[in-house]
Structure 1
Amino acid sequence: MRIGYFLSCEEYTPAQLIEQARKAQDAGFKSLWISDHFHPWNDEQGQSPFVWSIIGALSQVVSIPVTTAVTCPIMRIHPAITAQAAATSAVLHDGRFVLGVGTGEALNEHILGDRWPFADERLEMLEEAVEVMRELWRGDFVTHHGKHYTVDQARIYTLPAKPPKVYVSAFGPKALEVAARIGDGYVSTMPDGDLVRRFRDMGGGDKPVQGGFKGCWAPTEDQGVETAHRLWANSGVPGELSQVLPSPRHFEQASQLVTPEMTRESVVCGPDPAGHAQQLQAFEKAGFDEVYIANMGSHYEELIDMYRREFL
């Protein structure tokens, strides 16, 4: 199982993201994930740079693969524009760029005032969006009049030698079926072997499966819990709230349901590598080919150094 590093655009400045990427590559991480948000989950996280600018900058400082985890190409940015951005990113990264996609969250996608569709409709939109992008990556002029998207005589001129791979994030059975059918790979943040088996049985076969989790390096476990809870209590918000809440303020309100002890139980906190080993083993046992670790808080250099010593 390959170990990669996860860049959280919600929490770090562009300069910090570039610094982390460089240090991660130097430490021996094999690849990078990067999140794509318009808003952070809460004001305490405090950042949200434009992911495509960061991906371009990364091409100048690292040579390891980069995957978006994940981009939503259905509302905030039209799939034709996402297709152009992904093609340019693949050129800049010499073909080492992967477009990870999903059906998104209202937090980021509602900002233009469009109605937030139900889950099944978003999944339908995602499938058509991927179809549009792949048409454009063939290099011909494209005119498309679909149920959700229109493209009028558009052509992408700057193209990589091979079209970008598209990995699809999915959790429910309908989404898993779509991911297995249209995806070049699968993305999940849960070390759930049943999801991996269902993806493979539904047609995913031996396509790559990527997973990821967050940890919080700190001098003590208690300090780590405090930091993780202050910055990322939203990770414990239950059910479908993460898909439907429209603003960081709403996540701050919903996060009041999450206690510090819940954070302690769900996030690996502190300086001990044992908890990270358990998480890595859980993903490996579940059948993941790659797993990505993100840091919460200011001690990302210490977390990267710990992985250099213990795991890489």
Structure 2
Amino acid sequence: MVNIGYTMMTEQCGPRQLVDDLVRAEHAGFDFSVISDHYSPWIGAQGHASYAWAVLGAAAQATSRIPLMTYVTCPTFRYHPAVVAQKAATVQLLSEGRFRLGLGSGENLNEHIVGGGWPSAGVRQEMLVEAVEIIRALFGGGYVTRRGKHFDVESAKLWDLPEQPPPIGLAVSGEKSCALAGRLADLVVAVQPDRALIDSFDRHGGAGKPSVGQVPVCYDPDRGAAVARAHDQFRWFGGGWKVNAELPGPAGFTAASAYVRPQDVAGSIACGDSVEEFVEAVRPYAEAGFTEVALIQIGGESQRAFLDWAESRLLPALRGL
């Protein structure tokens, strides 16, 4: 059975609503949750970008059962990896062991703000490897001093360290990143239902470890309204990871998706209130071997209606996958 998760999408809801909606998702029976960590929304129509780590602290206190996870944090530009380790350890303590640290090499959209430029994908992968090694060392306890190609650490120590450190997940998109994840991570994260990614992760040391995917959906009893909302807020999604990682701001995503039509969005995102259509949106991930799939309900104003519907109709149907 595939575990079904709920996404706290910081780009489309304010921080108090994110926490309130997560409490409702826990009550509805979602198996886990993930949160995006962005400085900017993908597109201006989304309208939000609160600080994910403050939301996680509040969420840890407001809930009691549902696991939490970053999907994903970039530990190399806005945040030094030693600071990410401290934040992750703190959330693990606050949540009493319910936190997983999802990491990735980042997007220009969020990371350019600190003025360090945006290097090539190869350099970003090098930086990610160094960051994971630093975070692992700090999770191990004691003082850490390191002189690296990209990061220095000077006598750093986590003074509040959970008994069980957060598992680390790495986002992947191809063979090289899968090899890194298989070697360095406790779980793998991907946004494409691609069996080759899971197989590659398994070959490089990931066999038996969890794999977490994510699927955008747009519930509304009025299918036309759902398609319009998905087009307004999520038409950028079809650009693909190689494009989405490079564009520098919401205006770029708006321009890049200017010719995407509502029917194009409806062809790639489940819209409306057909349980069968939503199940079919998740099925490719189950068939590709993913053990967990997080749903993104598009539209901040629609979260409560979606959660009510998911509890009564969608989640029972998805349990059959």
* Alignment check: 8 A CA contact 2:76 2:127 kept: yes
Matches within 5 A, 1:34-113: 34-63=35-64, 64-113=66-115
Q: Secondary structure at the match of 2:96?
A: coil
Partner-residue secondary structure (3-state), 2:61? coil
- In structure 1, C-alpha distance between the alignment counterparts of 2:225 and 2:214, rounded to whole Å: 23
Q: Helix, strand or coil: the match of 1:257?
A: coil
What SS does the aligned partner of 2:216 have?
Answer: strand
Structure 1 residue identity aligned to 2:35: I
Deviations 1:138-180 (A, max 9, x none): 2211111001000111111011111111001101111111011
Q: 1:300 aligns with which of 300, 303, 306?
A: 303
State the superposition RMSD in angstroms: 1.1
Matched ranges for 1:159-174 at <5 A: 159-174=161-176
Alignment-derived partner of residue 185 in structure 1? 187
Structure 1 partner of 2:205? 203
**Contact preservation (8 Å) 2:218, 2:226:** yes
Deviation at 1:306, TM superposition (A): 2.0
Moved more, 115-124 or 236-245: 236-245
Q: Is the 8 A contact 1:181 1:203 kept in 2?
A: yes
In structure 2, the residue matched to 1:176 is 178
3-state SS of paired residue (2:73): coil
Secondary structure at the counterpart of residue 309 of structure 1: helix
Are the structure 2 counterparts of residues 239 and 300 from structure 1 closer, same or farther at C-alpha, using a change threshold of 3 Å? Answer: closer
Q: Please give the alpha-carbon distance, in whole angstroms, between the structure 2 residues aligned to 1:238 and 1:210.
A: 18
Deviations 1:85-116 (A, max 9, x none): 00101000111100000111000011111021
1:177-225 Cα offsets, whole Å, 9 max, x none, are 1011101000111122222122112221111111111111112221111
Between stretches 280-289 and 209-218, larger displacement belongs to: 280-289
For residues 86 and 123 of structure 1, what CA distance do their matches in structure 2 show? 21
For 1:22, the equivalent position in structure 2 comes to: 23
Distance 1:77 1:129, change over 3 A: same
| Corresponding residue number in structure 1 for 2:228 | 226
Q: Secondary structure at the residue paired with 2:11?
A: coil
Q: 1:9 aligns to what?
A: 10
CA distance in 2, matches of 1:61, 1:257: 42
Identity %: 38
Look up the equivalent residue of 1:72 and give its one-letter code: C
Q: How many residues align?
A: 312
- Secondary structure of the corresponding residue to residue 211 of structure 1: strand
Moved more, 132-141 or 83-92: 132-141
How far 1:302 moved relative to its partner?
1.9
Structure 2 counterpart SS, 1:33: strand
Runs of 4 or more, structure 1, over 4 Å off, are none
Instruction: Report if the CA contact (8 A) 2:5-2:31 is conserved.
Output: yes
- Measure how far apart 1:234 and its partner are: 1.1
What secondary structure, in the 3-state scheme, does the structure 2 residue paired with 1:304 have? helix
Shift of 1:239: 6.0
Q: Deviation digits for residues 242-262 of structure 1, max 9, x if unmatched? A: 111111111111111322121
Would you say the 8 A contact 1:237–1:257 is kept in 2? no
Q: What runs of 5+ residues in structure 2 fail to find an aligned partner?
A: 317-321
2:126 alignment partner, one of 117, 124, 127: 124
TM-score under structure 2 normalisation?
0.95
Is the CA contact 2:89–2:161 (under 8 Å) kept in the aligned structure 1?
Answer: yes
State the secondary structure of the residue aligned to 1:210.
Answer: strand
Q: Distance in 2 between matches of 1:103 and 1:273?
A: 35
What is the one-letter code of the residue matched to 2:99? F
